[in-house]
Structure formats: structure tokens, C-alpha cells
């Protein structure tokens, strides 16, 4: 059996980097912009009668920083999930401009619709995952995409005001793309999902290292507090001593625990 390419404008096979997982680069339209994404598909997808869960992967960073890693999404797909990872507009040859959580969030919403249309994907078992800056993208997807099963925020941003305060090295970029939080307060508020957390209708899993120097653990605490106040179901796992990028046993253990949690949401 072949991959169902009908939801995409274009689909190009890429070199395999993980046993039992096929990789593709796909193109699709988001708000009339032609954008790109990486797609990782486990071999079990191609078996007769297969119906798999899917994970919408929201990358961190911007441009070359935090780009989608084929190894990571392939590792995730090996758990039996179809993984679709938007590069966001303005990245990897896609049209438009990366707005760091502005209109580019529609690239994620459109990707969710693609997964809903993809053959042999269980429409009732589509979850979203966000790493770093991808945390806000994932949370907005959990707010806007009706039918999302669950949401994982790993080392994720939840408050853009806090990001401006703690990341002095990013302030020039943030002022260029968004503005200053005192002068363009509405733009920062619009990119902060905490203000709309009561609209989330799926369980949230928060994973964060206690020694994260890129996205402070306060983001995890603020998200958990907002979910508690809104009466939303969530779990918060704090990895003692872990930094922004989990390594070694921490990465393997929390990845396995995460997929066990995702499987349990069905």
C-alpha cells in the first residue's frame, strides 16, 4: 500500500533515518500561503486495515534554530503514530513570514485538518505536541482545533511576556517581529494562550526540566496554575536537574512515558 498523498499539494519522499519509519516533505496551503512540513510514517501504516493515531508536532525556535529534526519525529513515529511537523510559514522554503505565534498558528490548524483527511489515521486519536516556542502553537491548536484528543507541552513557552523578560538574547528578534511588550501589549497577549486556557477541551501534559535556562520552569507552573483555575484536566511532570534539551536516559524515559500517557487518552 502507498501513502495517501491526496491531502497535500506535493509530497516528496526523503531518506530514512530510523528503522521502520518513512519520511516525507509535504506542501500544503495555509491562508493562501504554500507552506511545508515534515511527515514521518511508521511502516505499520502501510498494512492492510491499519488505522493509526497521529501526533501534530509543533517545533520550537525560528528559522534554523529549533528546526524539525528528522531523527526526533522518526523516533516518535516508531511508537506507532503518524507524525506531521509543520515548519511554519517563512521556514524551509515556505511562503510568508514566521510571526512567532501570530498568524502562523494557522499553519498548525491547517495541518490538523490534513491529518483528519489522511487515510488510515484515526480521526478520534489526533493529539498535539509542542516543544519550546511550539508550546504556544500546541496550546492554541488545542483551543482552536475541535476534536483534538490531547496536548503535550514539553519545555514549552506559555507566556510571551515572560519570554521577553527572561530571554534578553531574543529581545531584538521579538521587537522586530512582535514589538515591545509595553507598546504592543495586545500582540503579546494574543500570543499568550494562558488568557484563553478556559477554551481548551482536552487533557494537557506538561513536561519541563527544573533547570531549563531557555524556557524557565515558571512557564510550566503558570500553565498548570491556569489549568487548575479553569478546572481543566492536566498532569505536570518536572524532570529534576534537566535543562531545555533532555538528554540520555531522561529523553528516553520521558518520551516513553509521554507515549504511554497519549495511548491512555484514547
Residues with catalytic annotation?
132, 244
Q: In the Cβ-directed half-sphere of 167, how many Cα atoms lie within 13 Å? A: 22
Closest Cα to residue 38, out of 22, 56, 26, 51? 26
**Partner residues linked to 22 by β-bridges:** 41
What the block records as the C-alpha cell of 26 is: 509535504
Residue located via cell numbers 483534538 = 148
Question: By 3-state DSSP, what share of the chain in percent is helix, strand and coil, each rounded to 5?
Answer: 35, 25, 40
Q: Where are any strands of DSSP class E within the chain?
A: 10-14, 21-30, 33-42, 52-58, 82-86, 121-131, 151-154, 204-209, 234-239
Residues 217-231 as b/e (b if ≥16 CB within 10 A, e otherwise) read bebbebbbebbeeee
Q: What is the pairing mode between strands 151-154 and 204-209?
A: parallel
What the block records as the C-alpha cell of 198 is: 478556559
What the block records as the C-alpha cell of 120 is: 488510515
Closest Cα to residue 132, out of 71, 59, 201? 59
Residues 224, 206: contact at Cβ < 8 Å? yes
Amino acid at each position: 500500500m502507498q501513502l495517501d498523498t491526496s491531502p497535500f499539494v506535493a509530497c516528496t519522499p526523503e531518506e530514512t533515518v530510523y528503522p521502520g519509519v518513512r519520511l516525507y516533505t509535504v506542501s500544503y496551503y495555509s491562508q493562501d500561503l504554500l507552506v511545508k512540513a515534515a511527515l514521518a510514517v511508521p511502516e505499520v501504516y502501510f498494512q492492510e486495515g491499519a488505522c493509526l493515531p497521529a501526533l501534530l508536532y509543533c517545533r520550537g525556535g525560528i528559522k534554523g534554530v529549533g528546526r524539525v529534526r528528522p531523527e526526533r519525529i522518526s523516533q516518535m513515529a516508531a511508537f506507532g503514530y503518524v507524525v506531521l511537523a509543520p515548519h511554519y510559514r517563512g521556514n524551509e522554503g515556505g511562503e510568508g513570514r514566521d510571526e512567532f505565534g501570530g498568524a502562523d498558528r494557522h499553519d498548525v490548524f491547517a495541518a490538523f485538518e490534513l491529518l483528519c483527511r489522511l487515510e488510515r489515521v484515526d480521526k478520534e486519536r489526533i493529539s498535539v505536541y509542542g516543544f519550546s516556542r511550539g508550546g504556544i502553537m500546541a496550546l492554541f491548536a488545542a483551543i482552536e482545533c475541535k476534536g483534538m484528543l490531547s496536548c503535550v507541552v514539553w519545555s514549552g513557552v506559555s507566556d510571551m511576556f515572560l519570554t521577553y523578560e527572561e530571554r534578553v538574547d531574543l529581545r531584538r528578534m521579538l521587537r522586530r517581529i512582535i514589538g515591545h511588550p509595553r507598546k504592543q501589549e495586545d500582540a503579546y497577549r494574543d500570543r499568550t494562550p494562558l488568557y484563553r486556557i478556559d477554551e481548551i477541551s482536552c487533557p494537557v501534559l506538561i513536561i519541563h526540566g527544573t533547570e531549563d535556562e531557555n524556557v524557565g520552569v515558571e512557564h510550566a507552573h503558570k500553565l498548570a496554575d491556569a489549568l487548575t483555575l479553569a478546572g481543566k484536566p492536566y498532569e505536570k511532570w518536572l524532570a529534576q536537574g534537566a535543562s531545555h534539551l533532555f538528554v540520555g536516559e531522561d529523553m528516553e524515559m520521558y518520551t516513553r512515558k509521554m507515549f504511554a500517557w497519549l495511548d491512555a487518552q484514547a
